[in-house]
Copies of this chain bind each other. A is one copy, B any other.
């Protein structure tokens, strides 16, 4: 695992589990509506900047550089809270998103991309199968 030098609090860094590139996924969520806006990637330093600057900062895998969300577009993410998950390999960043989060211009990166899904009602299957129509 590549861990780049960072000013991140060592107590937090010790809790992180990173992929081979030293990165972990960061889920950005609108703090009040609950919308899942996008998923980005962070390394230790991106997390440090996110925690200390008030602006969500990611590591761009395509450009191999830090990416302060909204720096060019103006579609900034103002950080409200950051939580680590139970095993330290994902962060949830609650933000106040200015404008669209997605570079395509939609509010979230998941808008308009629904996949065909079979939906089963929990109540239907909670009933044991062998009772339906059987003696």
Contact = CB atoms under 8 A, between A and B. Distances in A.
A99 to B, nearest CB: 11
Contacts of A80: 117, 119
A3 interface: no
Contact of A34 (B33, B38, B55, B106): B33
Interface string A16-34: 0001000001010100011
Interface in A37-83: 38-39, 47, 50-55, 76, 78-83
Contacts of A131: none
Contact of A120 (B53, B103, B109, B115): B53
B115 A86 contact: no
B113 A85 contact: yes
A115 to B, nearest CB: 5
B55 A84 contact: no
Interface string A100-122: 00111010011101111111111
Interface of A: 9, 12, 19, 25, 27, 29, 33-36, 38-39, 47, 50-55, 76, 78-87, 89-92, 96, 98, 102-104, 106, 109-111, 113-122, 125
Given A86-B104, A90-B109, 9 more contacts: A38-B85, A39-B89, A47-B115, A55-B120, A79-B120, A81-B119, A82-B115, A83-B110, A83-B111
